[in-house]
Structure 1
C-alpha cells in the first residue's frame, strides 16, 4: 500500500477560502480537491501490511499539543516562473510547531527505515502542475499575503493513498489525537 503521515485540513470555512484562491488561478492544472487538503509530514511510499503495523505502533507513542495554524501566503515550487506545485504557506510560529511535529514523526519512523527525501517545509499543496503553465508571478503577487483564518490542528493521521485516473483516494489507517 502507498502511505504517508499527514495533518488534514477539515475546517469548511478555510477549505472554502482555499477553493476561492484556487478559482483565481486561470491555469491548465487540476486543483487539489477540498477533501484531500493536507500537510504531508512524511511520505512513506509503498509499504507492506507488516510495515504498516510497525508504523502504527511507532506513531502511537507520539505526543503533541494542538497547533493553531495560520495560513498567510501563497507560493510555488520550484518558483513562480516555472511552477510544478502551487501551495499555501503558514506563519513562522505555525511553521515551527509543524516542523517540530514532523521531526518527531521522522525520529519515531527512522528505526523502521523511513527518512525524508528533503527537509520538511510546511505547505498545503493546492495545485500539482503536470504541463508547463508559464509565469504566474502576476497572480502570485495578489496572494503574497492572505489571511484564511486559524486552523486548530488536533489530529495526526497515518493515511493510505490509492492513485486513480480521477485523482488519489485517501483513507485513514490511524488517527493520533493531540494531548
Structure 2
C-alpha cells in the first residue's frame, strides 16, 4: 500500500489552509488542493509498502520514540516550491524547530535500518496544493496571504495509507504512535 508517516495538525491550521486555498483559487491558481481533513505535516513518504513491512516498521518506530518528550511547532507563513520560476507546490511553513528535527532524525535512523530511502534534507512544511496552472504575477498574489502564527502540540505521529482516486486521495490511518502511550493499530 502507498504509505506515509505524518503529524496531524489542529483545526486552526486546517482553517488557515482552507482560507488560503480559497484565496488562491479566487486569484486564478489551479491545483490539486489538499482537502481540509487531509492537511498534515509529512515526515516521510515511504511509497508502496507491504502490510507486513508497515506492521514491522510501526512497531520499531514506536519503540524507538517511546518516551520522546511532547513538544510543539509553529506554523507561520504561506510559501511555495518553484522550479524555473513556476510554482509547483504551495505550502504552510513550519518554523525551524529542534525537537521536530530530533524526532525526524530518530525516525530516519530507524527507517534506514529497514532499508527505506528518502530525500536527505528535511524541510518541514504542510502541503496545501500541487499547482497545475497559475496566473501572471503569481508571486505577488501569494505575498499578502498572511495569518497569525499557530502553535501545534505534538505527542504522537501516525502512519497512513493513501489511495489515489480521480476525485483525490483517501488517507486512512493505519497506526498511531503516542510518545507516552505506545502503538495503536487502526482497522
Q: Same fold (TM over 0.5)?
A: yes
Shift of 1:117: 2.3
- Check if 1:88 corresponds to 2:89: no
Q: Which residue of 2 aligns with 1:4?
A: 4
**How has the CA–CA distance of structure 1 residues 133 and 8 changed in structure 2, closer, same or farther, with 3 Å as cutoff?**
farther
Q: Which residue of 1 aligns with 2:75?
A: 71
Q: Which residue of 1 aligns with 2:20?
A: 21
8 Å Cα contact 1:70-1:147 kept in structure 2: no
Residue 125 of structure 1 aligns to a residue in which SS?
strand
TM-score by length of 1: 0.88
Q: Measure the CA separation in 2 of the matches of 1:139 and 1:65.
A: 39
Shift of 1:115: 2.1
Q: Measure the CA separation in 1 of the matches of 2:82 and 2:105.
A: 23
Q: Compute the RMSD of aligned alpha carbons.
A: 1.9
Residue 114 of structure 1 aligns to a residue in which SS?
coil
Q: What runs of 5+ residues in structure 1 fail to find an aligned partner?
A: none
Shift of 1:135: 4.2
Q: Measure the CA separation in 1 of the matches of 2:83 and 2:32.
A: 18
TM-score by length of 2: 0.85
Q: What runs of 5+ residues in structure 2 fail to find an aligned partner?
A: 181-187
